[in-house]
Amino acid sequence: MSAKLLGWPGIIRLGLVQSAIGAMVMLVTSLLNRVMVVEYALPAALPAGLVAWHYAVQLSRPAWGHGSDQGRRRTPWILFGMALLALGALVAVDSLPAIAAGGVFGYVLAIIGFSMIGAGVGAAGTSLLALLASQVAPARRAAAASITWIMMVFGIVVTANVAGALIDPFSLPRLAMVASGVALAAFVLSWLALLGIEQPRAAMPAEESSDAPAISFGAALQEMLAETDARQFTIFVFLSMLAYSMQDMILEPFAGLLFNFTPGQSTQLSGTQHSGVLFGMILVGVLGSAFGGGTPASLRRWIIGGCLGSALALLGLAMAAQVGASWPLKANIMLLGFANGVFAVAAIGAMMGLAGARGPARAGIRMGVWGAAQAVAFGSGGLIGAVGVDLGRALTGDTPNAFLVVFASEAGLFVIAAWLALGVTRTRAPIDISMQQEAIA
């Protein structure tokens, strides 16, 4: 019996799961953040610390990925992660009145909730990407990466608009109802999207289902990190995502301090950046699959081009810090977003290909390690960028030069990431068993 790879409808269904993950993460990292700071007048450091903690918990991703590798199916791991994520979001919401009442219990409850959120994202997200890597044809991986990430953004946007409309006038019971509705809808959507989509590995050809006997987590991790390509790609993911996230906390203050943008104008600037990201994702999704087959080697030019384009845009922002109001800031930000979108989707597509280098039964731990590297980068990138600007301003009293140094440092990280990508995608093409399978349904 031959296994069938996922067609476009199947890829879109898995994209719906990614949308559900994005929706629930938005609920706690954006909406709950605002409620804590504004409605409950809590220190901004509290939600920031909780979000950083949820990234730290995602260091468990390799363990979740290894667990899904050892089973016959990944769907239960995804659904378990979605359930944990939904419950964690509700626990985080329920911690608010306890925190407002004073005492330690509320803070403990919040930490438990965000721990569940981090673990849920790790379990569901890692197993979902491993499923995509195992059951999407190489020629469609770039498009699959583009579709799933665009759908994640779509899920965030829709949830933000719907939740924002339903939560006014604000009250804690209304917040609890909205959060419960989002959590329930996201879990049910994921469950329906996953129904019958995964083919158990026992039903696959013998060369696929038996390529990896049961192995301990430590041995599987050691085996992966012993491979030059996998180890180098881990470093690439960390450096590129660190550079990607360093500007998150400083871009809007940069526009306000040096270009006199109002809060509304700086928010629109953020929208401009995300529009560029979407354009870049769509371009790679269409052209990356249409030309070159979507293998890691064929995606090399997109990864390197996106990294170098991001470096160029960041050098432009460094120059803008010196030039001032006459610099075309909006066009610069659009270029940055576009280049970020190109490299991010191409890197995820290459990640799917490299994850299958030792067959489907090793895809989970590979995705887990790279996901953990990404989580650490995201969790520390924004903080490093903000602290870098603050230190520069405090030590020199020169705001433009402080931003210049941080943006130039980001550009340097992207150049190093491009060099690493050149090596890791050139050494060899991964062993892709899916090439031996039947035509896509």
Q: What is the DSSP string of 158-188?
A: HHHHHHHHHSPSP-HHHHHHHHHHHHHHHHH
CB-count exposure of residue 438 (10 Å: 0-12, 13-18, 19+) = exposed
Q: How far is CA 385 from the centre of its chain?
A: 18
Q: What is the pLDDT of residues 13-58, one digit of tens each?
A: 999 999 999 889 888 877 787 788 778 888 877 887 888 899 899 9
pTM metric for this prediction: 0.78
Higher pLDDT, 128 or 139: 128
Question: Distance between CA atoms of 30 and 234, rounded to whole angstroms?
Answer: 28
- Measured in whole angstroms, the distance separating CA 9 from the mean position of its chain's CA atoms is 22
pLDDT of residue 428: 45
Other Cβ atoms closer than 10 A to 183: 23
Helix (H) or strand (E) holding 112: helix 105-135
Q: Provide the token pair at 50.
A: 């909780």
Residue 210 has pLDDT above 50, yes or no: no
Whether omega before 253 lies within 30 degrees of 0, making that bond cis, reads: no
Given a contact cutoff of 8 angstroms between Cβ atoms, the answer to whether 348 and 149 are in contact is yes
Q: Maximum Cα–Cα distance for the chain, whole Å? A: 70
Between CA 24 and CA 19 the distance in angstroms is: 9
pLDDT-based confidence at 3, cuts 50/70/90?
A: low
What's the confidence (pLDDT) of residue 189? 96
* Stretch 78-82: mean pLDDT: 96
**According to the model, what pLDDT value does residue 294 have?**
55
Q: How far apart are CA 11 and CA 135, in angstroms?
A: 9
Q: Which residues contact 309 (CB under 8 A, 6 or more apart)?
A: 335, 338, 339, 342, 343
pLDDT at position 40: 84
Is the pLDDT reported for residue 431 higher than 60? no
Find where tokens 């583009």 sit: 146
Q: What is the pLDDT of residues 160-209, one digit of tens each?
A: 778 878 888 888 889 899 999 999 999 999 999 999 888 765 544 443 44
Calpha distance 5→205 (Å, rounded):
13
